[in-house]
């Protein structure tokens, strides 16, 4: 699949003549080794993430194949999204699930029972993948889970540099997840030792030395106390780099319309948002607070930069169901329908703590809102018969990870970037099995999924089995055309009622909710490293006695120079957050591409 990679790219490659000396007296934080090594780790991870030669057959697949930034961190293959949903592996094999988004994945917590809320499926939340099996922690034998491999301190077995050891902050579900796709026979289908050897011969191998202070080692000798071969340590370091890259501004930019609207108002009343400040706009905010009783403060909804439909969609998103007696704390206007999306799609959701009593959570004005509780729910998604794996139903959390829980539990993903890439020419798919092909249908399902006619409902949606007949293959298109929904794939322990299936929204209100969700798409989109554009003009990697002939490798300074705005912002920490650091309210570290490269030249 082709994509436009060079459009709008700003070239920042600098010659040594153009480098300006650093002013040591300035105290610029960009001079410090820890900042530049951290950047090198993320730039290395970006190259690994986009490298399609890390698969067998070579060129068949990369991390980006299932997690395309232009498609919101999911599949970038429209034809696959329309039909079989699961991106084929390098050798043609397929799994059971649509890829979950990796955008904002760094905010996913480790798998644990320290959750809000606790659901009908499980008290657990967190962990990467739809079933959380990349737990992001050392296995806890007491919780009876079967987790995927974990990456930990073994990667530092021969490293003394404290700045490099500080990469441990990237241990967690995202780095653990990176360990899995390459050796998987239905994904990249490449052994760890071959990953190591191909990167050791790649154009970007010099980034490894800057990040870890030593050349990549692909030997089979045991790595010290770890009992692992050297190539496995190198592989794990590379996957740590992939995890670190997924903590970067390049994937977690917080640049949506909602974010701009929020920060533009906050710039009027607090520091840390200088690039959004506009004196005339702040005057408008002040007048709105005076004249509109619904506008209580700058940075609170309704936001001036959003339309009436978008603000109303937000209000429905966060409004609790009608049975809550203290609506005044959540939404003072009882005429606003309770879509209740925030019960599951909020960092700190509103949850019941006693009959008719609620612990109220987020109101939607949080700077680092990623719209996911990371808990496990069964909302009654229909079975997708177009996924070509028929040997076993995908039962979710209990399939391979936590066998003791009921069927149908899948982790709530972020709602950011749901529409990114979607158009008349490009189809996306939604839910763990990709049954839905557009968000309008997803919202309609949440509103009308209840097909039990014995239950008082706000709609007349039918059971597709009664309309179309049995046996049947019902797609989203067939269901919508026949005013019906298929039965849930797993009918027990459903989240239903006033949360899913019987919300009572009108078609216009569904549209307003969709309008709000569209404001969560980021403007920034990661672009592939430029060096991969040149591979078409370079000789193929050839293995000789199990090793690859090295390609010409530019110094790390050149590879840094090819990157753009994201690297400067990453260095300055002039962005909202990365899942680790708190919100930056400082003016930045004084980074420029010149200062970054000047320091980079002296790192060994």
The Cα–Cα gap between 159 and 460 comes to 65
Can you give the pLDDT at residue 443? 98
Q: Which two tokens stand for residue 14?
A: 């600098």
Phi and psi (nearest 5°) for 104?
Answer: 65, 15
Q: CB within 8 A of 537, min separation 6: which ones? A: none
The predicted-structure confidence for 506-515, as pLDDT tens digits, reads as follows: 999 999 999 9
User: Is 172 a residue whose pLDDT tops 60?
Assistant: yes
Only one residue has tokens 């001079």, namely 31
Can you give the pLDDT at residue 360? 76
Q: CB within 8 A of 256, min separation 6: which ones? A: 416, 519, 520, 521, 522, 523
User: Is 548 a residue whose pLDDT tops 50?
Assistant: yes
The predicted-structure confidence for 499-535, as pLDDT tens digits, reads as follows: 899 999 999 999 999 999 999 999 999 999 999 988 8
User: Is 496 a residue whose pLDDT tops 50?
Assistant: yes
* Contact assessment for residue 413 and residue 401, using Cβ atoms and an 8 Å cutoff: no
User: Is 328 a residue whose pLDDT tops 60?
Assistant: no
**Per-residue confidence at 598, pLDDT binned at 50, 70, 90?**
confident
Can you give the pLDDT at residue 237? 98
User: Is 15 a residue whose pLDDT tops 70?
Assistant: no
> How confident is the model over 320-348, as a mean pLDDT?
70
Q: Given its phi and psi angles, is residue 183 left (phi above 0), alpha (psi -120 to 50 degrees) or beta?
A: alpha
The Cα–Cα gap between 500 and 494 comes to 9
Q: Which two tokens stand for residue 552?
A: 């010409």
Q: For 282-331, give the secondary structure using H, E and C.
A: HHHHHHHHHHCCCCCCCCCCCCCCCCHHHHHHHHHHHCCCCCCCCHHHHC
* Contact assessment for residue 522 and residue 253, using Cβ atoms and an 8 Å cutoff: yes
* Contact assessment for residue 381 and residue 486, using Cβ atoms and an 8 Å cutoff: no
* Of 88-97, 383-392, 511-520, the least confident: 383-392
* Of 206-215, 280-289, 547-556, the least confident: 547-556
**Per-residue confidence at 599, pLDDT binned at 50, 70, 90?**
confident
> How confident is the model over 244-254, as a mean pLDDT?
95
Can you give the pLDDT at residue 5? 38
* Contact assessment for residue 404 and residue 376, using Cβ atoms and an 8 Å cutoff: no
Q: For 155-172, give the secondary structure using H, E and C.
A: HHCCCCCHHHHHHHHHCC
Only one residue has tokens 């986009």, namely 50
Q: Which two tokens stand for residue 470?
A: 């049995």
* Contact assessment for residue 272 and residue 588, using Cβ atoms and an 8 Å cutoff: no
The angle, 0 to 180 degrees and rounded to 10, between the axes of the packed helices 205-212 and 192-200 is 100
* Contact assessment for residue 368 and residue 577, using Cβ atoms and an 8 Å cutoff: yes
Q: Using alpha carbons, list the distances in angstroms from residue 485 to 445, 446, 450, 456.
A: 8, 11, 8, 17
Q: Which two tokens stand for residue 330?
A: 């959540």
Q: Mean pLDDT in the chain?
A: 87
**Per-residue confidence at 445, pLDDT binned at 50, 70, 90?**
very high
Can you give the pLDDT at residue 515? 98
pLDDT-above-90 percentage for the chain: 66
User: Is 140 a residue whose pLDDT tops 90?
Assistant: no
Only one residue has tokens 């780790």, namely 41
Which range is most confident: 67-76, 455-464, 537-546, 588-597? 67-76
User: Is 260 a residue whose pLDDT tops 60?
Assistant: yes
Q: Which two tokens stand for residue 63?
A: 């991390």
User: Is 391 a residue whose pLDDT tops 50?
Assistant: yes
Buried b (16+ CB within 10 A) or exposed e, 265-286: bbbbeeebbeebeeeebbeebe
Only one residue has tokens 């939340």, namely 125
Can you give the pLDDT at residue 588? 55
The Cα–Cα gap between 538 and 487 comes to 53
Q: Which residue has the higher pLDDT, 3 or 72?
A: 72
Buried b (16+ CB within 10 A) or exposed e, 541-571: beeeeeebeebebeebbbbbbbbbebbbbbb
Can you give the pLDDT at residue 25? 32
The angle, 0 to 180 degrees and rounded to 10, between the axes of the packed helices 507-518 and 439-448 is 130
């Amino acid at each position: 699949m082709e994509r436009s990679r060079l459009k709008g790219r700003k070239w920042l490659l600098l010659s040594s003549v153009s480098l300006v000396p650093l002013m040591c007296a300035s105290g610029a934080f960009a001079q410090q080794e820890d900042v530049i090594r951290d950047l090198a780790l993320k730039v290395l991870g970006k190259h690994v993430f986009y490298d399609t030669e890390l698969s067998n057959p070579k060129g068949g697949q990369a991390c980006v194949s299932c997690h395309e930034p232009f498609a919101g961190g999911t599949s970038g293959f429209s034809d696959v999204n329309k039909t079989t949903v699961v991106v084929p592996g390098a050798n043609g094999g397929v799994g059971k699930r649509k890829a979950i988004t990796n955008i904002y994945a760094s905010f996913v917590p480790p798998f644990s029972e320290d959750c809000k809320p606790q659901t009908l499926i499980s008290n657990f939340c967190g962990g990467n993948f739809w079933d959380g099996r990349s737990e992001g922690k050392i296995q806890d034998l007491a919780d009876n889970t079967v987790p995927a491999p974990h990456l930990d301190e073994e990667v530092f077995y021969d490293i003394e540099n404290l700045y490099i050891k500080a990469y441990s902050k990237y241990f967690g579900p995202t780095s653990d997840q990176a360990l899995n796709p390459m050796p998987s026979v239905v994904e990249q289908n490449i052994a760890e030792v071959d990953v190591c050897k191909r990167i050791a011969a790649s154009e970007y191998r010099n980034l490894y030395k800057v990040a870890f202070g030593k050349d990549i080692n692909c030997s089979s000798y045991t790595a010290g106390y770890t009992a692992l071969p050297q190539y496995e340590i190198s592989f794990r370091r590379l996957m740590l780099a992939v995890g670190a890259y997924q903590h970067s501004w390049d994937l977690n930019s917080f640049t949506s319309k909602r974010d701009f609207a929020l920060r533009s108002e906050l710039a009027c009343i607090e520091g840390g948002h200088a690039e959004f400040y506009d004196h005339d706009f702040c005057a408008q905010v002040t007048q709105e607070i005076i004249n509109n009783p619904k506008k209580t403060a700058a940075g609170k909804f309704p936001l001036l930069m959003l339309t009436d439909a978008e603000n109303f969609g937000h209000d429905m998103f966060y409004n609790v169901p009608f049975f809550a007696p203290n609506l005044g704390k959540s939404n003072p206007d009882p005429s606003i329908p309770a879509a209740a999306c925030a019960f599951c799609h909020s960092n700190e959701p509103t949850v019941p703590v006693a009959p008719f009593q609620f612990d109220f959570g987020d109101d939607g004005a949080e700077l680092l809102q990623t719209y996911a509780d990371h808990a496990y729910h069964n909302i009654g998604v229909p079975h997708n018969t177009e996924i070509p794996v028929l040997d076993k139903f995908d039962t979710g959390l209990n399939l391979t990870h936590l066998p003791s829980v009921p069927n149908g539990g899948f982790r709530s993903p972020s709602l950011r970037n749901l529409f990114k890439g979607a158009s008349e020419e490009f189809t996306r798919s939604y839910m763990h099995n990709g049954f839905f092909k557009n968000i309008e249908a997803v919202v309609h399902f949440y509103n009308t999924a209840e097909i039990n006619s014995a239950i008082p409902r706000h709609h007349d949606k039918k059971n597709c089995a009664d309309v179309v007949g049995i046996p049947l293959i019902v797609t989203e298109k067939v269901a919508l055309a026949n005013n019906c929904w298929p039965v849930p794939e797993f009918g027990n322990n459903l989240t239903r009622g006033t949360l899913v299936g019987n919300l009572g929204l009108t078609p216009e209100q569904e549209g307003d909710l969709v309008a709000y969700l569209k404001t969560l798409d980021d403007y920034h989109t990661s672009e592939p490293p430029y060096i991969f554009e040149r591979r078409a003009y370079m000789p193929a990697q050839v293995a000789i006695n199990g090793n690859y002939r090295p390609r010409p490798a530019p110094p790390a300074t050149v590879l840094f120079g090819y990157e753009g705005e994201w690297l400067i912002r990453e260095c300055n920490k002039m962005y909202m957050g990365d899942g680790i650091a708190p919100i930056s309210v400082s003016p930045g570290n004084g980074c420029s591409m010149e200062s970054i490269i000047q320091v980079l030249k002296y790192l060994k």
